[in-house]
Amino acid sequence: AQSVTQPDIHITVSEGASLELRCNYSYGATPYLFWYVQSPGQGLQLLLKYFSGDTLVQGIKGFEAEFKRSQSSFNLRKPSVHWSDAAEYFCAVGARGGATNKLIFGTGTLLAVQP
């Protein structure tokens, strides 16, 4: 069965520090992978996605993620965090094969940014 694990429920970083949010997935083949961000009371905004090709993908707001097949991971990184990055971050996988857009989400990582 497909699943996504985000081991860190809550992370606090100082403004200007680097950030890495972890995501591990379980899937029989290479899935489609996504990172979304959710601000309080808002919907989900797509940060970046991996479908195929280059394993290092760039997204919006200075975020990037690296797909590592051997580790079944898709960690999100940002070199310098801004206070406005405080939000909840969700990793998601989508299935290959079959006409479906179903996404399976991780439990999310809540990011707090200290001044």
Residues making contact with another protein (CB under 8 A): 31-32, 34, 36, 41-46, 49, 51, 90, 92, 94-108
What is the full DSSP assignment across 19-47? EEE--EEE-SS--EEEEEEE-TT--EEEE
Residues 6+ apart with CB under 8 A from 55: 66, 67, 68, 69
Closest to another protein by CB, 99 vs 115, is 99
Check residue 60 and report its DSSP letter.
G
Name the minimum Å distance from CB 66 to another protein.
Answer: 19
Q: Which is nearer to another protein, 11 or 103 (CB)?
A: 103
Question: Of the two residues 15 and 104, which places its CB atom closer to another protein in the complex?
Answer: 104
